[in-house]
Structure 1
Amino acid sequence: MHLLIQIQNQIKQAITKTWPDLLIPIIEVTPAPNSVGQQNNFGDYSCAVALNLAKQLRANPLEIAEQLKNALGQVELIADTTVTAPGFINFHLDYPTVAQIILAPATRNSQLATRPRNIVIEHTSINPNKAAHVGHLRNACLGDSLARVLRTLGHQVEVQNYIDDLGLQVADSVVAYETFGKLPEGVAWDKWFWEVYAKIQPKYESQPELIERREAILKEMEQGQNQTAKRIVKEMVSAHLTTLKRFGIAYDNLVYEHDIVGHHLWDNVFTELKNKRLIVQPKSGKHKGAWIVKFGTTEDEDKVLVRSNSVPTYVAKDLAYALWKFGLTSTLPGYTRKFSQADEVVNVIDNRQAYPQAVIKQTLSKLGYQSQADNYLHLSYGVVKLSERAMQTLGETTTGKTTYSMSGRAGIGVIVDDLFTTVMEAQIKAHQTEPQIAEQIAVGSIRYYMLKTRPEREIIFDFDEALKTDGNTGIYLQYAYARANNILAKVAPSLDGLGTLLTLGELNIVPPTNGGVTPRHPELLSPELVEGSGFIPSVIPSAIKESTLSPRHPEFISGSNTNKAIFDNLNPQEKNLIKVLTEFDFNLSLSADELDPSKLCDYAYQLANAFAKFYETSPVVGANTEAQKEFRTGLVTVYAKVLSEVLSLLGIPQLDRI
């Protein structure tokens, strides 16, 4: 339990004790706004619950805050509790104690979910007919980082990638292949189909026979008879996996639509829906002859599951797929599941699909699967659009708008592989960076660019923004990690840098083995985290036991006057870094609870900034005393490990040097 949660619980108890019959409002304890080095009357954490209680109690919020402060009594790890107008309760950290705790080794166990769940995350799901663009990459980065977060918290996670190999887009690509001939020698399949998929679209108007051919291809695909379609799908999926593997993204199962159809999963669900009279077949109106689920009083609110030509819609197939994820329908031969039944399903799908996702959720409820409906979650995110400058860079026509939608049918978009090459080459050109390191910088820069925006917001893609190397960027975080490594290498040059220094201590990080670039988390290619890897500073009351404190430098706990002076005289920058370090597990849990990896991006940037201020004011090698040097070495060591953990969760490679 994080300190903020502990304080919230104690406030709740104080309210109940003081006003037993009161309706308890939402209680939030948040880091107080402050400027490092300045006196802060709001303490380190602040709570405004007294302001919310004022209406109920019809009393002065300042007086309510005083009553709550007195009812709280002593809060562990808090040196002082104060009240400020108009009714804030402020908590001042006991920095000497907290500093000792974060220097002590800790395990991940205290951060594991109290009730581990079996969770399916479906993400990526690119139509297998052309190259992946940055919109697809946003989806994949969101899903991949969320999976990392949930695994770190102790949940069992199965990552699925749904391959719509029977869709119209694949049929379009077959028509394009037949129309434009075989792809040229040496040209990548996905990039060639990016071009011809766009070129075939206008031909449907001038050559209507191509539409008839496309319909015939669709039927052949449903029957598993079109070999060209199978070849295209195979090559496209391979290309997509290669592109995404470069970013550390992998899957437990690739689920093909032809298996959902071929093994009659939908047929079984269709029968169940009819038997339970949950679908109807109108005799007249716009849905005449179709099978629909009624969701309102008008035809427009109804959702078609089976068209009048007896062809199931994609929503119908997704419903069958959802039931399979939960283990509520027959199994699919050839698929190995990590667990037979999911407790929770998270679908990473853009916000344009909010209504179909709601239909599936409500239909699960109508079928009687209320628990599954409650745990069928849609991680809805805004699409990636292009800025006017990005359009001009791509050589596309602009019309004075500020944003432009990407369109595969029009061939407008930023291909992921092209962006990766652009970022990598820009780094090499500007800084003469070694290609191997430039690749890792490109991965970090692009992933962070995709993740730092709140999921619900659109990303307006701009090449200049994607290529930035300062400010709130992935490379800034990588520099922040490399800088810590450089400090520790100077402190202990014989230990060959951070990797070895930490290995010899309690934190057990495996040192780099590939010429200065930390291995890019091989455990992510088989989705289980390496047992025992990682460290989370657990600032909780139960951690304050003499027997549990065995830091890298035990003399700090010995009670000597010299070392007591170190803890009693921390400078503002040291305090700020310590405070931010203690907030990691809170932000980790927040990211999981809100299905929002951008929370960890915010935290990573805050942590790197706290370290930058520490670095400017608190020399390690040139510390005033040996005790101070040892203390700051320990603090930098913990900082490096926590930042390493955050970067890992975001999929950003950690570099010993840049």
Structure 2
Amino acid sequence: MYLELQQRLLTRVRALIQDQYGIELGPIAIEQPPDLKLGEFALPVAFELARKLRKAPKIIAAELATLLNNSLETVALLLPSESEGTAQGLAISRFEAAGAGYLNVYLNRGCLVSALAQFDIRPAPNSGLHVLVEHTSINPNKAAHVGHLRNAILGDTFVRILRANGQKVDVQNYIDNTGVQVADVVVGFLHLEGKSLAEIRSLIAGFETNGEKFDYLCWDVYARVSQWYDSGSEEENKQRKSLRYATLHEIEAGGNETALVAELISMAIIRRHLETMLRLGITYDFLPQESEILHLKFWDLAFEQLKQTGVLYFETEGKNKGCWVMTRPDAKAVEEGETDEDAKVIVRSNGTVTYVGKDIAYHLWKFGLLGRDFGYRPFFEYPDHTCWISTEHGEETHPHFGGAQAIYNVIDSRQSDPQANVIQALRGMGHTAEADRYTHFSYEMVALTPRCALELGYTVAEEDLGRPYIEVSGRKGFGVKADDLIDKLIAATRKETGARQPDRSEEERQLVAEQIAIGALRYFMLKFTRGTVIAFDFKDALSFEGETGPYVQYAIVRIRNIFRKAETSPEKVLAQFATLDAASLLKDADDIWGIWLRASKRSLTLDQCIATSEPAYVARHVFQLAQEFNNFYHRHHILTEEDPARKTLLLATAAITLRELVTVLSWMGIESPEVM
């Protein structure tokens, strides 16, 4: 509602300036005054016009205020009629010139709160783009860790935000099942453990039957192999690493026992990853595997397109001699017949394709530009849909997941250069529109505070105790497994809920503990902007004070308790409030009006998140609303208020806050508990 009103206002102001002064302006800035007594919006447009009109900004602002006040009905209408769908009530009450030349805008408080009270305003569903969001993408060689959780939570939240905006979104989780990390685990089982294919198959079956975590075993095997490569003599280490690359080659080639071992291990670990993420409410639609990109010859098709469009050329001189390299945007050196030493190698001189080459082919498929598709087979069943996985020859009837119009890749910031190379290749091939709708949704790493590392049982060196964070390393075996982190958070919360809710059943207390723990984890990962390194800490995440998930959840519980004690419901209160004179009730009640105004900014928050690919705006919005409500709660005695009309206003304010908090928390994948 707030966003739509802003847009209508700016459109009208721009049109008026065109009519009055013959000046066509571009985007007009809009600000929020520091005090609601100065209005809800402030436009500095007079300062921009001053040079062109050769007038003082103060005079221009006064002229605009007069013109707009004389035509309020053309500015914006609000409050759709429930029965006829018409509009009632002016959204803007007046314009005023202020300060050195600001144009302040005052909203009609009664109109806005009546609209919010009568209708749960949501972004209108729209056809939008067919969007593909790729996130999580963990190498299937060991258990998921805390760093993977940031990726998955960011991606899942952005999916929810896009869907809330009415867009069709497919969720993909890319599986690099032919990479060196999988090869390392295969080396561990075949050569360190000395196990055969049959023994590995039996081992996996035993783990699954007993409910044990095979990905935990692989975590340890991976760390041991990583150390084994460098623990022998120089000659031994050389032989061990040659074994690593021989194993990698066999996996990529397929059709041999080593490749079968890799498939067994990766399939078992992928299933575990999906189970882990499901604990956080995170699901997927499709799991494209690198093995099919290789075996279905995606690269061959992409290679021809890249050569035909001139994006790739064969280097005959210099350090890249014998390689197919990608032309730089500034290819002057090549045009003059010199070697392009800094060109990106896509096909090495030995004929192998680099990571970027395979990624270009994959993204041509994503945009429906490749001319070939995966085979599909069902892999994992969720309560409401099936997750499919790629294969060479799959089901005849299956959904189709390529051909997207926009792509978001949730990949950490260290992959910025490869991502930029893919975008560059798309542009070079003439796919400019697709390149413009390709977003690298980057983020920084997750580390641990020294206190958190100690709580998890790690030894922390004396010199590290004073550091703000300690980096984790799966290769070194130092890190927090995602399931362990979730279990520890739930256990800590379970102890608290047990003390607070002794009369509840075990099942109820467990459910509440899970809701709080998962909410704490998701909120902690989302409240930081994507470019911030996160130092995870149990105490900070689970705190009921400050900017945390439990703080926002507790505001919801507090509101629900108010309605239980008042023996009424939010729906009844809002229906009753609709019969009152809201404008007179809100006169000189800026703190109450501020909460309604904040609640109206849902669509603005949604727009900010999508425009900037930054879910932190959502976290900030719900925290500020919860904070404002808690201040309101301590300032006003809702249940003991004697004036019936004012009591209804206070309860309606609580109802609107509840509706907003529950809705926006759901975008974050956070549930709203009944009790805490």
Query: TM over 0.5, yes or no?
Result: yes
Once the two structures are superposed, what CA deviation does each residue of 1:440-491 show, in whole Å capped at 9, x if it has no partner?
A: 1111000000011111222233343233231100011111111111111222
Task: Name the SS for the 2:404 alignment partner.
Answer: coil
C-alpha spacing 1:636/1:130, structure 2 compared with 1 (3 Å): same
| SS of residue paired to 2:408 | strand
When structure 1 is superposed on structure 2, of 152-161 and 390-399 the one drifting more is 390-399
Deviation of 1:242 after TM superposition, in Å, equals 1.0
Paired residues of 1:124 and 1:140 also in contact (CA < 8 A) = yes
The alignment status of 1:314 with 2:338, answered yes or no, reads no
Partner SS for 1:201: helix
1:410 is matched with which residue? 476
Unaligned 5+ runs, structure 2: 76-89, 196-202, 334-338, 377-389, 391-397, 500-508
Larger Rg: 1 or 2?
Answer: 2
Hey, what's the Cα distance between the residues in 1 that align with 2:323 and 2:563? 69
Q: 1:564 to 1:441 in 2, by over 3 A?
A: closer
* Range that drifts further, 431-440 or 141-150: 431-440
Work out the percentage of aligned pairs sharing the same amino acid.
33
User: Match of 1:313, as an amino acid?
Assistant: T
2:214 is the alignment partner of 1:189: yes
Other-structure match for 1:590? 608
Contact 1:286/1:299 (8 A) holds in 2: no
2:146 aligns with 134
Whether the 8 Å contact between 1:158 and 1:338 is mirrored in structure 2 is no
From the superposition, tell whether residues 147 and 565 of structure 1 become closer, same or farther in structure 2 (CA, over 3 Å): closer
**Which 10-residue stretch deviates more, 166-175 or 567-576?**
567-576
Per the TM alignment, residue 555 of structure 1 is displaced from its structure 2 partner at its CA by 6.0
Q: Which amino acid aligns with 2:673?
A: L
CA contact (8 A) 1:290 1:306 kept: yes
Cα deviation 1:377-427 (Å, max 9, x = unaligned): 111222223344444553244645544433222222222222212222222
Q: In the alignment, which residue of structure 2 is the partner of 1:638? A: 656
Change (3 A) 1:398 1:616: same
* Amino acid corresponding to residue 49 of structure 1 in structure 2: V
Identify the match of residue 157 of structure 1 among 141, 164, 169. Answer: 169
Kept in 2: contact 1:7–1:29 (CA 8 A): no
Quote how far apart the aligned CAs of 1:8 are: 2.4
Question: CA shift at 1:168, angstroms?
Answer: 0.5
SS of 1:157's equivalent in the other structure is strand
Q: How far apart in 1 are the matches of 2:588 and 2:143?
A: 54
Matched residue SS, 1:653: coil
Q: Does the 8 A contact of 2:182 with 2:262 survive in 1?
A: yes
Map 1:195-214 to 2 at 5 A.
Answer: 195-205=220-230, 206=232, 207-208=236-237, 209-214=239-244
Compared CA separation, residues 43 and 139, structure 1 to 2 (3 A): same
Gap change, CA 1:656 and 1:570, over 3 Å in 2 = farther
Q: Check if 1:5 corresponds to 2:80.
A: no
The 1:317/1:449 distance shift into structure 2, 3 A limit, reads same
In structure 2, distance between residues paired with 1:45 and 1:381: 33
CA distance in 1, matches of 2:134, 2:627: 34
Q: Is the 8 A contact 2:110 2:583 kept in 1?
A: no
SS in 1 for 2:442: strand
Match of 2:184 in 1: 172
Q: TM-score w.r.t. structure 1 length?
A: 0.84
Alignment of 1:261 with 2:294, yes or no, is: yes
Distance 1:466 1:564, change over 3 A: closer
User: Given that residues 309 and 428 in structure 2 are in contact (C-alpha distance below 8 angstroms), is that contact kept between their aligned partners in structure 1?
Assistant: no
SS in 2 for 1:116: coil
Q: What whole-Å deviation, never above 9, does each CA across 1:274-315 have from its counterpart, x for those lacking one?
A: 233321121232222221102145846421212222111111
Measure how far apart 1:12 and its partner are: 2.2
State the match for 1:293 in structure 2.
326
Question: Cα 1:107–1:569, aligned 2, differ >3 Å: closer, same or farther?
Answer: closer
For residue 655 of structure 1, what is the aligned residue in structure 2?
673
The answer as to whether partners of 1:119 and 1:343 remain within 8 angstroms in 2 is yes
CA distance in 2, matches of 1:399, 1:276: 55
Name the residue aligned to 1:512: none
Q: Measured at CA, do residues 430 and 564 of structure 1 come closer, stay the same or move farther in structure 2, by a change above 3 Å?
A: closer
Match of 2:373 in 1: 331
Alignment check: 8 A CA contact 2:444 2:531 kept: yes
Deviations along 1:476-515, one digit per CA (max 9) or x if unpaired, are: 111111111111122226xxxx6xx65x89xxxxxxxxxx
Counterpart residue identity of residue 263, structure 1: L
Question: Partner of 1:148: helix, strand, or coil?
Answer: helix
Aligned to 1:33: 34
Contact 1:175–1:210 at 8 Å: present in 2 too? no
Deviates more, 1:564-573 or 1:169-178: 564-573
The correspondence of residues 159-558 of structure 1 with structure 2, limited to 5 A, is: 159-181=171-193, 188-205=213-230, 206=232, 207-208=236-237, 209-224=239-254, 225=256, 226-295=259-328, 296=330, 297=333, 299=340, 301-329=342-370, 330-334=372-376, 336-337=398-399, 341-393=403-455, 394-397=458-461, 399-400=463-464, 401-432=467-498, 434-492=509-567, 502=571, 552-553=575-576, 556=579
Deviation at 1:217, TM superposition (A): 1.3
Match of 2:21 in 1: 19
Distance 1:26 1:85 in 2: 22
- State the number of aligned residues: 593
On the 8 A contact 1:129/1:190 being kept in 2, the answer is yes
Deviation at 1:160, TM superposition (A): 0.5
Contact 2:494 2:513 in 1 (8 A): yes
- SS of residue matched to 2:546: coil
Moved more, 441-450 or 340-349: 340-349
Q: 1:63 to 1:571 in 2, by over 3 A?
A: same
Could you tell me whether the CA contact under 8 Å between 2:320 and 2:341 is conserved in 1?
no
Q: Any conservation in 1 of the 2:448–2:535 contact (CA below 8 Å)?
A: yes
- After superposition, the Cα gap between the structure-2 partners of 1:259 and 1:139, relative to the gap in structure 1 and judged at 3 Å, is same
How many Å apart are 1:343 and its aligned residue? 1.3
> Measured at CA, do residues 410 and 72 of structure 1 come closer, stay the same or move farther in structure 2, by a change above 3 Å?
farther
Deviations 1:91-145 (A, max 9, x none): 222112212111112454x5334x5111111111111111212221111111111
What SS does the aligned partner of 1:381 have? coil
Task: Using the TM superposition, name which of 413-422 and 42-51 deviates more.
Answer: 42-51
Please say if 1:578 is aligned against 2:603: no
Distance between the aligned counterparts of 1:174 and 1:564, measured in 2? Answer: 69
Residue deviations 1:610-655, cap 9 Å, x none? 2212222333332323333334333322321221110100011111
C-alpha displacement of 1:2: 2.0
Q: Is the 8 A contact 1:391 1:398 kept in 2?
A: no
Distance 2:50 2:472 in 1: 50
1:451 is matched by which residue type in structure 2?
L
Question: Aligned with 1:30: secondary structure?
Answer: coil
Measured against aligned partners, the alpha-carbon deviations of 1:555-576 in whole angstroms (never above 9, x if no partner) come to 616xxxxx46853546233211
Between stretches 48-57 and 207-216, larger displacement belongs to 48-57
Unaligned runs of 5+ in 1: 35-39, 506-550, 558-562
1:453 maps to amino acid:
F
Q: Which moved more, 1:230-239 or 1:77-86?
A: 77-86
